[in-house]
């Protein structure tokens, strides 16, 4: 006995809809799929990009690593540049890090300002983390890693236990690594330090205020004598000349105002230099000074 016509009118559309749905699911999931849920394939995380920012009394560098930059604050120190560039090139390549060096050369007649040179270029180099690196401090121990530290983590590589010269507990100079996001959170470094090296101490207080995790390199097989090579000698003098009354007064006060958000500068030229296999991308930078705020940015003879 056949299906009554009234039921055929109801069942046939249902069967047709189910058949079309089955064909659609096969086209999406394939004939052997055990589930109709869509499971996306995992994608590889993009490589991290490191800026190694080389600094030394008259220098600031950013190394561009894995499409990041190495920026270097610099002024008239070719002898250190000629040693630093080939050394860091070899050291980073041995860690599998692609990079290029970007040297920030201060060309104005103001006193040297490492922090402002870092601020001037740190947010324009396409990196997601950076290392502020003294140019006269060469890493020797291959156990020292320049890889991504993680968000919220400040890694002090040249810790007081291994730096050849400085060992006080609040010291964070030499080589300091952090993400670009964390650097922006801290508003970079203070722009008020012209010709004298207290910007790191101010930066330590900014890190403490922001409650970021400051870690230090430890448990190396080397010691204070053979972890780093220090190039600083008697011919490499800091710009301590003429510490003015205003400068002494200013260093006693915290800077909650200046930093990455208000550094004033102009890029005047770009060129490429080679030191062995290391290519250095040089950027000439002219910094500007607010004489009403930091009149000591110029030596008395230039005011």
For residues 186 and 211, the answer to whether their CB atoms sit within 8 Å is no
Beta-carbon neighbour count of residue 286 at 10 Å? 16
Closest listed residue to residue 88, CA positions, set 223, 277, 271: 277
* pLDDT at 254 (0 to 100): 93
- If you compute the radius of gyration of the chain from its CA atoms, what whole number of angstroms results? 28
Cα–Cα distance, 203 to 118 (Å, whole number): 12
Predicted local confidence at residue 299, as pLDDT: 72
Task: Give the residue-averaged pLDDT of 255-281.
Answer: 92
List, for residues 77-126, the tens digit of each pLDDT value: 678 889 999 999 999 999 988 776 777 888 899 999 999 998 987 655 66
Please determine, looking at this structure, whether the domain spanning 50-302 carries the CATH number 3.40.50.360: no
Helix 199-209 and helix 114-122: axis angle, to 10°? 50
Measured between alpha carbons, how far is 131 from 245 in angstroms, rounded to an integer? 33
Q: How far is CA 226 from the centre of its chain?
A: 25
Q: 134 near 79, Cβ under 8 Å?
A: no
If phi > 0 it is left, if psi is from -120 to 50 it is alpha, else beta; for residue 162 that is alpha
Q: Which pLDDT tens digit goes with each residue over 174-192?
A: 999 999 999 999 999 999 9
Instruction: Give the domain ranges of the chain.
Output: 50-302
Check pLDDT > 50 for residue 138. yes
Strands of the chain, DSSP E:
50-56, 59-65, 70-74, 99-106, 129-134, 137-139, 153-156, 175-179, 213-216, 228-230, 265-275, 278-287
The answer to whether 160 touches 224, Cβ cutoff 8 Å, is: no
Give the whole-angstrom CA distance, residue 155 versus residue 162. 14
């Amino acid at each position: 006995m056949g299906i009554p016509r009234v039921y055929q009118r109801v069942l046939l559309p249902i069967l047709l809809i189910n058949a079309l749905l089955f064909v659609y699911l096969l086209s999406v999931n394939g004939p052997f799929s055990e589930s109709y849920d869509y499971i996306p394939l995992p994608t590889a995380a993009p490589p991290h990009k490191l800026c190694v920012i080389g600094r030394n009394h008259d220098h600031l560098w950013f190394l561009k690593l894995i499409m990041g930059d190495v920026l270097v604050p610099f002024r008239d120190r070719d002898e250190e540049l000629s040693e630093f560039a080939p050394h860091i090139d070899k050291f980073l390549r041995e860690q599998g890090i692609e990079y290029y060096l970007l040297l920030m050369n201060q060309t104005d007649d103001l006193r040297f300002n490492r922090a402002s040179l870092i601020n001037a270029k740190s947010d324009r180099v396409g990196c997601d983390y950076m290392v502020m690196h003294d140019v006269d401090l060469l890493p020797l121990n291959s156990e020292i890693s320049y890889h991504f530290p993680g968000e919220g983590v400040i890694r002090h590589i040249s810790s007081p236990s291994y730096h050849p010269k400085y060992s006080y507990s609040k010291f964070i100079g030499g080589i300091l690594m952090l993400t670009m996001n964390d650097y922006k959170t801290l508003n970079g470094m203070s722009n008020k330090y012209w010709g004298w090296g207290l910007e790191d101490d101010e930066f330590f207080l900014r890190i403490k205020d922001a409650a970021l995790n400051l870690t230090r390199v430890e448990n190396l097989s080397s010691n204070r004598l053979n972890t780093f090579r220090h190039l600083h000698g008697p011919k490499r003098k800091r710009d301590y000349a003429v510490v003015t009354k205003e400068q002494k007064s200013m260093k006693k006060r915290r800077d909650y105002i200046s930093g990455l958000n208000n550094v004033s500068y102009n890029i005047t030229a770009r060129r490429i230099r080679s030191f062995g296999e290391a290519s250095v991308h040089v950027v000439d930078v002219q910094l500007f000074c607010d004489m009403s705020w930091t009149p000591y940015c110029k030596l008395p003879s230039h005011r």
